[in-house]
Amino acid sequence: MKRHCTAIVLAAGQGRRMGTAVQKQYLELKGKPLLYYSLKVFEDSEVIDDIILVVGKDQEEFVRAEIVEKYHITKIWKIVSGGDERYASVWRGLEAAGSMETEGYVFIHDGARPFIDEGIIKRGYDTVLKYKACAAGMPSKDTVKRVDDQQFAKETPERKYVWLVQTPQIFERSLIIQAYSRLMREENINVTDDAMVVEQMMKMPVKLFKGDYENIKVTTPEDMEIANVFLGKRLKKV
């Protein structure tokens, strides 16, 4: 029997590297907000039961009217405001998820990654059933160097051991809530993704599964150009 699955979609970032007055998650991509595309995939997914959307402070009603209601995203269970840092926004989403009276799994996804698809979601679900904690990623195509403080190369890891990590990152609900509750009690927090929280707080390994090389995070103007190409290619297939 399929377990209950909640998607927490993060859309509270400021997007300073985009260099635009409009936050990146609301920039238009082929006539629709960037955020729409990942929400639509979760909306249509056979795996995802409900969605918690984390947005910037005081943006809840704007997002509800201009994205959720306008594009008929009916699986949205809650819209909550995020924090100043990514981890704080995830915690706000998990607090909302923790109020559900159900066990299951939580998919944490960046709203600025518009090219998630059902294949990624299903691969993630199959993986989390077995390992309890997993993250999408892809093997690095490039040679990677580890450098010192002066940017001199110190080590060249074998490429087969280097993956570029993406989202969604997926966890057993009780596991990720416990990991973040421990994190939020720390004085100095320095984490870059949810897998790192589980690794550090729970001392638990996180399994990687294949995402997609097109599952990019749109961060800069150049990324928007690439996203337009990827979306145009996908629309031609429909």
Secondary structure (H, E, C), 151-188: CCEEECCCHHHCEEEEEEEEEEHHHHHHHHHHHCCCCC
Q: Answer yes or no: is pLDDT of 19 > 50.
A: no
Least confident of 11-25, 58-72, 128-142, 214-228: 11-25
Quote the CA–CA distance of 202 and 209 in Å, as a whole number: 20
Under the banding of pLDDT at 50, 70 and 90, the label for residue 73 is very high
β-pairing, 50-55 vs 5-11, is: parallel
Spatial distance between the Cα atoms of 178 and 181, rounded to a whole number of angstroms? 5
Would the CA dihedral through 54, 32, 62, 47 be positive or negative? negative
Q: What is the mean pLDDT of residues 174-198?
A: 95
Give the model confidence (pLDDT) of 105-158 as tens digits: 999 999 999 999 999 999 999 999 999 999 999 999 999 999 999 999 999 999
What does the pLDDT read at residue 17?
53
List Cβ neighbours of 238 (8 Å cut-off, separation of 6 or more). Answer: none
Buried b (16+ CB within 10 A) or exposed e, 101-117: eeebbbbbbbbbbbbbb
Least confident span in 14-28, 58-72, 103-117, 154-168: 14-28
Q: How far apart are CA 199 and CA 182, in angstroms?
A: 12
How many alpha carbons lie under 13 Å from residue 124 in its C-beta half-sphere? 33
Q: Which residues contact 16 (CB under 8 A, 6 or more apart)?
A: none
Mean pLDDT along residues 185-211? 96
pLDDT > 90 fraction of the chain, expressed in percent and rounded: 85
pLDDT band with cut points at 50, 70 and 90 for residue 98: confident
Query: Residue 94 corresponds to which tokens in the numbers above?
Result: 């998990």
**Average pLDDT of the residues in 5-24:** 73
